[in-house]
């Protein structure tokens, strides 16, 4: 039998720092349903991909101003694109889809 502990308890509550930094962006997306918009552009670097991923997860989980509500949901995706100067960028796209 592996060594270790076995203790029955619920997981500790996840402490998340909530911000509404994209609340105005979310409101604009709600006013233009079904339209994709670029909400962030990051360089294709380790830090840029990390920032894009944080924003992607924030939209998916309803953080940073993209609150879940019964009227609709936000869809999010990322794309890595080549710029004219030969560098690459990671774009974060979001759209608001109202529930029918």
Task: Tell me the CA distances in angstroms from 61 to 11, 15, 17, 82, one per residue in order.
Answer: 19, 14, 13, 28
- Predicted pLDDT of residue 1: 53
pLDDT score recorded for residue 16: 61
| CA distance linking residue 6 with residue 96, whole number of Å | 44
CB-based contacts of 97: which residues, under 8 Å, 6+ apart?
Answer: 33, 34, 72, 73, 74, 75
What's the average pLDDT block by block, 10 residues per block, for the chain (100 residues)? 81 75 95 98 97 96 90 97 96 95
Looking at the whole model, is its pTM more than 0.85?
Answer: no
Per domain, the residue ranges of the chain are 23-98
């Amino acid at each position: 039998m592996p060594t270790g502990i076995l203790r029955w308890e619920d997981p500790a509550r996840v402490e998340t720092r909530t911000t509404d930094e994209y609340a105005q962006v979310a409101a604009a997306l709600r006013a233009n349903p079904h339209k994709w918009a670029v909400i962030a552009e990051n360089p294709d670097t380790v830090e840029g991909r990390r920032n894009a991923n944080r924003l992607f997860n924030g939209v998916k989980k309803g953080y940073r101003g993209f609150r879940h509500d019964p009227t609709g949901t936000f869809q999010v995706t990322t794309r890595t694109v080549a710029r004219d100067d030969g560098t690459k960028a990671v774009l974060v796209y979001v759209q608001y889809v109202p529930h029918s």
